[in-house]
Amino acid sequence: MTTQTLSYESKSTTPGGAKLAEASPRLVIQGWEPYLWELWPGGHVRFTAPLHERYHKRLVEGERYDLREYVGRELRVNAGQPPLRVPEGCRVSFTAAAEAVPWPGRAACEARDGFLLANVEERQWRAQQLWQQENRAKRREAIAEQERVPSTPFISATLECPSTIPHGHSFDVTLQIIYEGLVSDTHELELTERCITFHTYDFQFPSGLREGFRLWRQRRRETSIISHDDDKWDEYSIPDDDAFLIADDPPVDVRVGDDVDNFVTLRVGETWTLTKRFDWSSLPDDTVLGDVFSLVFQGTTVDWWDWGSQEHEHRDTVVKLPCWVVGPVVDPTDNGGRPRLVVPGSARRVDFTVIE
């Protein structure tokens, strides 16, 4: 790819034409730059930008405002081409309105981080509130025993964690996956001697609305740290621990028999254990001593499984995973035609109390 250097001038003028400022920064084009766009004739690009703080702070609810762009720009390329002039923008009108529900943490966040960062935090809070409102009913329904699929492995899940967590400390939760037998036509347990091999990704990073870990909190009463309102359990969304990733490489072939990190073989009665660490930041910011939390595993659906072991039947079985490997199976997309492996939620929740 050819590397090219651009220099451009930004000229700010008043309506009367007086120049206010001038700058000539340089920009190197080297394949990816968020503020460069390639446009063909008739093409367009659209993006959003926040209203500047000095204007935003002066808005009055119910008042109407005109926003005008008085900044003309000139873009020049160090290759002899004529400059590209971008004329002044058009006028935009809007009416200021207040949110129906104020963000409780607005004042504290603005005092700590400033006006602009408080705006960002408030947008995130409102997006989370909207998402929870739209999906609350679905999220509360754990996967039930009756949703097991006949003729698939009968798998159960249990949870373990400490009964007390010191304030400010991380903690471990143990998820045990037990292979008990075969699901009958009536969703009961049948005995079998067949072993199974399955992909563990959906236990580690469940993605469905009804799947994965859910956390509820019961606030400490002001009068006593051991007195709680049994009717007041509030669900709290556990922050995602996924990292941001852009990967354009094609999926990779993975031999199931060799990959012991992402595939597991179990025989009847055996258990696979996953230990998941929760940082203190996984709990609400306003957690105090005496708060009680209840954690449950809602269940999951495994994207790939088959009868047989890694050592024998699947020694040479190949599936495709994303190029970063720790991801859902890309091929086969239908689990090779086998029925879905549905794992119901844990029968017992685990509770812990925050201590000093």
Distances from the Cα of 326 to the Cα of 175, 177, 286, 298, 321, angstroms: 19, 19, 33, 22, 8
- Whether 152 maps to a domain, the answer reads yes
Q: Are residues 91 and 171 in the same domain?
A: no
Q: Are residues 124 and 221 in the same domain?
A: no
What six digits make up the tokens of 269?
A: 């009665």
**CA–CA gap between residue 168 and residue 279 (Å, rounded):** 9
The pLDDT of 289-313, averaged and rounded, is 94
- Whether 336 maps to a domain, the answer reads yes
Q: How many domains does the chain divide into? A: 3
Distances from the Cα of 346 to the Cα of 29, 102, 300, angstroms: 53, 37, 10
The beta-carbon contacts of 78-85 under 8 Å, at least 24 apart in sequence, are 78/4, 78/5, 78/6, 78/7, 79/4
- Whether 187 maps to a domain, the answer reads yes
- Whether 143 maps to a domain, the answer reads no
Q: Are residues 131 and 207 in the same domain?
A: no
Q: Note the pLDDT of residue 25.
A: 54
Q: Are residues 173 and 117 in the same domain?
A: no
What six digits make up the tokens of 344?
A: 């119901």
Q: Note the pLDDT of residue 123.
A: 87
**CA–CA gap between residue 298 and residue 238 (Å, rounded):** 13
The DSSP H or E segment spanning 140 is helix 115-140
Q: Report DSSP state, residue 230.
A: T
Asked if residue 267 lies in contact with residue 192, where contact means CB atoms within 8 angstroms, the answer is no
Q: Are residues 83 and 153 in the same domain?
A: no
Q: Are residues 122 and 69 in the same domain?
A: no
- Which residue range is the domain that position 249 belongs to? 148-355
Tell me the pLDDT tens digit for each residue of 85-105.
777 667 788 898 888 888 888
Q: Are residues 342 and 242 in the same domain?
A: yes
Q: Is the pLDDT of residue 244 over 60?
A: no
Q: Are residues 200 and 345 in the same domain?
A: yes
Burial of residue 300, with CB atoms counted within 10 A of its CB: 0-12 exposed, 13-18 middle, 19 or more buried = buried
Q: Note the pLDDT of residue 40.
A: 86
Tell me the pLDDT tens digit for each residue of 163-206.
999 999 999 999 999 999 999 999 999 999 999 999 999 999 88
Q: Note the pLDDT of residue 3.
A: 47
3-state helix, strand, coil in the chain (%, to 5): 15, 35, 50
Mean of the per-residue pLDDT values for the chain?
82
- Whether 131 maps to a domain, the answer reads yes
352 DSSP β-pair partners: 293
Tell me the pLDDT tens digit for each residue of 36-45.
777 888 888 7
Q: Are residues 170 and 25 in the same domain?
A: no
Q: Are residues 221 and 339 in the same domain?
A: yes
- pLDDT-based confidence at residue 69 (cuts at 50, 70, 90): low
- Whether 209 maps to a domain, the answer reads yes
- Whether 253 maps to a domain, the answer reads yes
Range in 59-73, 94-108, 130-144, 162-176 with the lowest mean pLDDT? 130-144
Q: Are residues 228 and 287 in the same domain?
A: yes
Q: Are residues 25 and 122 in the same domain?
A: no
